A = this chain, B = another copy of it.
Amino acid sequence: MIDLLIKRGDVFTMAGDGVGYIGDGAVAIEGNTIAAVGRTAELEKAFPAKRTIDATTKAVLPGLIDGHLHTVIALLRGLGQDAPTWHEGVDPYFEQLSTDAVLAGAQLSAIEAIRAGTTTLGDYGPGMLITLPFYEKLGIRAKVCSLISEVPPVESILKEGELYPFDPSIGELRLRENLELIENWNGAADGRITVMIGPQGPDYCSRELFRKIKETAEKRNVKIHLHIAQGDREILQMKNRYGMRPVEFLADIGYLDEQLIAVHMVKCTDEEVERIARSGASMAFCPSSLIICDGIVPPADVFLRAGGNVCLGTDETSSNNGTNIFSEMKLGSLALNMKNQDPTFLPTWKALRMATIEGAKAIGLDHEIGSLEAGKKADIILVDLTKPSMMPVLRDPVRNIVPNLVLSARGDEVVMSIIDGKVVYEDGKITTLDESELLAFIQQTAEEVNEQASKEVRKRRTVQQRLTRENKY
């Protein structure tokens, strides 16, 4: 007798090169693993189950994957918008982030994510040692890294183009932290938590540190998660230090390969983006965040055209400004179509693949998740197609479910999330912990950070403070 049978659903396995639709479909789950996927009639006979879930008029999908986000600053939601640079608004708060704030940020992101169908977070620290015990308890899947930089906190006092100093002792410390993460958490929680390695950007680590990081990544067989060409400042640093642009530098130090998850790349030339794509590296595409922060669409179109593999990411709740992959599917598709003035550039089915199987591939988990196939981990969401925003449901000769999942769903149509075989979200509630307690802690912690930052915010007369005083906020 298996543990769980989901039956009578509109199942999208995402296997193969499309969406792998099975009408009147079923998924059999044993422990944390998918035992079988097929027609209800077949699976019902073959798999008597302890619990059966009727998924009539529900889309049954692999859980969505948020390939790149920093939960650590989620508490700063709505504090950096409407300004030439997002940093100016959030920096005074950022300087006051306590360990409680790091934890509360992870809680806020993870709760919001689960409520919108996300089952895996590609969380890019720092702060993971604070965050991971919470993820373990919550039951979410996470692929995380620490943030590695060897630049002391002097950026703000340097002149434009003046080289950041490197402090190898800081670099060593950060690398050691990431190593400890690998040692203590890679494969933890029955394999739900796995670890990557996270140099902050080409301009934040020395050649020597990059060499050690690559060596570690190869030895431990973990992915390298790296921001690339995030801004003009980085380009200038790289040119002044090495006489090279970031991508040239990364090629030079042997970083362009399948181990790499390349994030943002907004200041890359098309040729540089293509070079990364052709190397086998994946891209993390965070449309909302980059458009909100910089008014720029990351070059996922160029990356895809060059044959690259792309995952979606929410980046930061404080810039995005949410943790909702449904929203990124829609916005990602629209942003690329708009950029290319072509309504067919990123079809909805492709956006859904980027949020599932191709997202899993990007973060190195496609052997375990991203599609519903026998032997994979049971990360599954059920989306209620009888919600007004998903109606009507038509199946033949045109099946309208995929475009409606990508372009119409708000996130609250998700009625169940199963992660690693366990029902983590059901009937509008997270099952593994007391959400109202967490939300109270989140609010209280945010107020504490706010209290600490207030004086500095007033002193710096941030754009957002002016907007508040002018009654625009």
Footprint of B on A, CB under 8 Å? 16, 18-21, 75, 77-79, 81-84, 86, 89, 108, 111-112, 115-116, 288, 291-297, 320-322, 324, 327, 330-331, 334-335, 337-345, 347-349, 386, 388-389, 391-394, 396-404, 407-408, 410-412, 439, 442-443, 445-447, 450, 454, 457-458, 462, 464-465, 467-468, 470-473
Contact = CB atoms under 8 A, between A and B. Distances in A.
B19 A403 contact: no
A396 to B, nearest CB: 7
Contact of A321 (B18, B338, B407, B471): B407
A471 B19 contact: yes
Number of copies: 2
Contact of A112 (B322, B335, B342, B388): B388
A337 B348 CA distance: 23
A20 to B, nearest CB: 7
B344 A83 contact: yes
A468 B396 contact: yes
A388 B111 contact: yes
A397 B345 contact: no
A71 to B, nearest CB: 13
Contact of A464 (B398, B411, B443): B398
A162 B464 CA distance: 55
A307 B34 CA distance: 58
A322 B213 CA distance: 46
Nearest to A345: B295
Contact of A349 (B75, B324, B473): B473
Contacts of A339: 338
Contact of A473 (B402, B442, B443): B402
Given A322-B408, A347-B82, A400-B78, A470 B295 contact: no
A349 B295 contact: no
Contacts of A408: 77-78, 321-322
Given A321-B407, A454-B396, A473-B21, A338 B78 contact: no
A400 B79 contact: yes
Given A334-B292, A388-B111, A450-B394, A401 B473 contact: yes
Q: Which of A348, A410, A442 has the most CB of B within 10 A?
A: A410
